[in-house]
């Protein structure tokens, strides 16, 4: 009777049994695929953390039992001025990916309960308009020369790495920290930062000033 009911909903019970139909099991499948696309540890941890919020709420639920009202109840915990709007906005995007995975697995039919357009946009304010912005104070440009001089006078590896990074506009801090000799082209006065340190996933040529070579030496 249970399987007939699933068939009536357009769900293949054999496929459902093979893939696992709880929210947590679908989230795990989505996460396994997504983590392969990410290179930085902070990004991977962010995905795990945000989806962990949803798994704490619905982990053992059959995913077809999680509806739009449940998604709204979860998001409204922090979707307000002064709340963790940025985190929960990312959670919504990742929930949309999990439910999309469930649709592809044949576990649920559309529409996607976490979709924003023509769905949650009618019940939640736009995140950027209520998001609190705690920006780190920027150094005034007039203070930069004195700051650079203090860094240049330091003798530690950290001082030299920071100075090198400051002189290579367009480079990434990871590329500076992991710079290898074979990435430095003295004749061409440049270095090649590997693509794994850049969002474009492409090797990044960076011109080097004479002072950069002094630091390397």
Supply the DSSP string of 59-84, one letter for each residue: TTSBGGG--HHHHHHHHTTT-STTS-
For position 170, what pLDDT does the model report? 66
pTM: 0.64
Tell me what the mean pLDDT of segment 176-188 comes to.
92
Among 8-22, 116-130, 164-178, the range scoring the smallest mean pLDDT is 8-22
The three-state secondary structure class of 39 is coil
For position 196, what pLDDT does the model report? 77
Residue 19 has pLDDT above 70, yes or no: no
Partners of 190 in the beta sheet?
Answer: 185, 207
Q: Position of tokens 């979860």?
A: 74
- Percent of the chain past pLDDT 90, that is, above it, reads 66
Tell me what the mean pLDDT of segment 68-81 comes to.
96
- Percent of the chain past pLDDT 70, that is, above it, reads 95
Kindly give the residue spans of alpha helices, DSSP state H, lying in 79-186: 85-104, 127-130, 144-153, 157-167, 173-177
């Amino acid at each position: 009777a249970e399987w007939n009911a699933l068939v009536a909903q357009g769900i293949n019970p054999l496929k459902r049994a093979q893939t696992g139909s709880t929210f947590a099991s679908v989230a795990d499948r989505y996460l396994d695929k997504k983590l392969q696309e990410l290179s930085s540890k902070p990004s991977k941890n962010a995905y795990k953390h945000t989806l962990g919020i949803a798994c704490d709420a619905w982990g053992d639920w059959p995913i077809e039992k999680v509806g739009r009202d449940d998604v709204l109840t979860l998001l409204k915990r922090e979707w307000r001025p002064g709340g963790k709007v940025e985190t929960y906005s990312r959670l919504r995007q990742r929930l949309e990916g999990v439910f999309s995975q469930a649709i592809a697995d044949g576990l649920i039919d559309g529409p996607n309960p976490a979709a924003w357009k023509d769905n949650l946009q009618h019940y939640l304010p736009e995140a950027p308009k209520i998001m609190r912005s705690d920006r780190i104070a920027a150094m005034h440009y007039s203070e930069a020369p004195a700051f650079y001089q203090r860094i240049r006078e330091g003798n530690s590896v950290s001082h030299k790495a920071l100075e090198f990074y400051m002189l290579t506009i367009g480079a990434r801090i990871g590329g500076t920290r992991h710079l290898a000799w074979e990435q430095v082209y003295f004749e061409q006065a440049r270095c090649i930062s590997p693509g794994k340190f850049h969002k474009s996933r492409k090797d990044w040529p960076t011109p080097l000033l004479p002072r950069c070579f002094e630091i390397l030496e």
